[in-house]
Structure 1
Amino acid sequence: MEFRTMRAFVEVVRQGGFSPAAKAINSTQSTVSKAVRQLEDELGVPLLDRIGHRSELTAAGEIMFRRAQSMLTEREDLLLELDELRGLRRGVLRLGLPPIGSSILLAPLFVAYRERYPGIDIRLVEHGSTRLEEILLAGEIDLAASLLPVADAFEVQSVRNEPLVVLFPSRDPLAGRERVDLAMLEDRPFLLFETGFALNRIILDACQRRGFQPSVAVRSAHADFIVELVAAGLGIAFLPRMTAEQRPHPDVCTVRLDEPGTDWHLAMVWRRGGYLSHAARAWLALAKGETLTQADAQSPAEAAPSGA
């Protein structure tokens, strides 16, 4: 059984078809189809039930998909450990960052990391936190910035805790208040981020605790666009305070959200029990040092964080 055929099969399932799978692994559709057929022939059972242009996992396929993901992740861990024999003079840091908050908090860290470790290749993936956690568990990245709380499958290192603010059109009657809670916002349309952003989960879970389901007017992946929609009077939105402060608008007012369990708490996360490369440990150490510097420490920590 070859890793090549397993990788092709896993990508077909993950990407939802042969054509997008071929694109994901820089191959052709016929090559991917042949690899999956070779794996089925080797195992002696069908893994995919091909229905027209769709393919669904068979019972055997579900078992193979679960096992193949684990084997591919273990292979990546093996290759990373062997690569560490060369130390930090060479290597790869596979890092996942969400669009919200990353530019403010982590851009200076990129500069510092590049200065210290110029031989490390930083491969950046950008998605919402929920999607980043999925690809982190699949072993495709080493670290991700995500919002707490996260599942027990992850280790965490805190980066920043910020309150949320509500963005109102300046003419809204609530725009002049110092604080609001979600019960006061039930009748207003919400402007949320796209599926995959953990900030949505924080807001929607809090609404559920309040006993209502908000009306969602628009979803977008871009904070600047959401701010403009608020200014136009389409609805209200939610951002971490520091992110909102970076996007002032003459027709938008921000009000502190006074609601339990809605703080925006960003952390670096990684797979519990998974191999953590020296490049990833160095990033965590530097991130911890940057946090300490902001809290009156004088210089970044040099050592990797304990328990990493």
Structure 2
Amino acid sequence: MEDLEHAVQNVRDLAARRRGRIRVAAPPLLSSVILPQAIAAFHNEYPGITIELIDKGTEEIVASVVAGNADCGLGTFSPTDEGIERTLLMRDNLMLFCPEGHPLLAHPAVSWSDLHDLPLIALTRTSGIRLLVDVAAEAAQLSMKPAFEVSLITTALALVEAGLGVSVLPTYALTAARHYAVSATVLGDPVVSRDVVMIHASGRSTSPAVNSFSAIVRSYAQKLTPLRNVKVDASASQPAHGRM
């Protein structure tokens, strides 16, 4: 009877968000720009619940969530990924990152056609961001030959800072960009957006703790989205609360 009462109390504690553990999987950059402040805020509200952060690649995130090795995952995922359900956190625009003082930053608006003949610092073709860049460039009838192809957004930003080219990166790269002498502006004609989502395994109910954590992450994620067609100085683009 004591064991049964203890088990019932554990369930009540979990339902009341007094204790438990959440395992969240996310790619490295999102792990560093969104989750730290969100986790801190969650711990302040629910100190008895432990967050276990697993930073890994997008394909591994989906596999971990489907297999039950992670309770939820964060990122951008292909519509063809199966076995997961999605909760929208933010809509992310592709932005142009340039060295400080670049002539394009003086334009009232920047379009894809303005990138003609500029050296491009691109992510590798294994990146979903690169796929969006290629599709948008084709739609704008723009032939883009990368000067460099790199795997990490931080490497792309360092190359931009060195004046070796410009780069098209997602909005959340603004947070990493504060460490570099670069500025950014939203690209138009076309504006390219993608959804950053929280995922969990299909057919499994999410715990109250995961639902509360998802709401907090969403509030922090949405602070990263600037207004369209508004020039953003990356060094001053961080949200005032917590400087995410």
TM-score bracket for the superposition, by shorter chain length: 0.5 to 0.7
Match of 1:270 in 2: 200
Match of 2:51 in 1: 122
- 2:72 corresponds to which letter in structure 1? L
Give the one of 130, 140, 150 matched to 1:219: 150
Give the one of 191, 198, 203 matched to 2:121: 191
* Residues 213 and 185 of structure 1, relative CA distance in 2, 3 Å threshold: same
Report SS of the residue matched to 2:121.
strand
Q: Displacement, 1:120?
A: 2.6
CA RMSD of aligned residues (A): 3.6
What's the TM-score once normalised by structure 2's chain length?
0.67
Corresponding position: 1:201 with 2:131:
yes
Distance 1:218 1:152 in 2: 26
Distance 1:132 1:126 in 2: 8
- Residue pairs, 1:76-155, within 5 angstroms: 87=14, 88-147=17-76, 150-151=79-80, 153=82, 154-155=84-85
Corresponding position: 1:282 with 2:212:
yes
Distance 1:290 1:251 in 2: 24
Report SS of the residue matched to 1:227.
helix
Corresponding position: 1:260 with 2:193:
no
Distance 2:160 2:63 in 1: 31
Q: Displacement, 1:227?
A: 1.9
* Residues 165 and 129 of structure 1, relative CA distance in 2, 3 Å threshold: same
Q: Displacement, 1:229?
A: 0.6
- Consecutive unaligned residues in structure 1, runs of 5 or more: 1-82, 295-308
* Residues 246 and 278 of structure 1, relative CA distance in 2, 3 Å threshold: same
The worse-fitting range, judged by mean Cα deviation, of 176-185 and 227-236 is 176-185
Distance 2:23 2:102 in 1: 44
Higher RCO structure (Cα 8 Å, ≥6 apart)? 2
- 1:221 corresponds to which letter in structure 2? L
List per-residue Cα deviations over 1:189-220 (Å, max 9, x = no partner): 33234566433332233234345663231313
Give the one of 228, 232, 242 matched to 2:158: 228
What's the TM-score once normalised by structure 1's chain length?
0.55
List per-residue Cα deviations over 1:104-163 (Å, max 9, x = no partner): 433332112223333333221113445423433343322111236644733222222343
Distance 1:292 1:171 in 2: 28
Equivalent pairs, count: 211
* Residues 98 and 288 of structure 1, relative CA distance in 2, 3 Å threshold: same
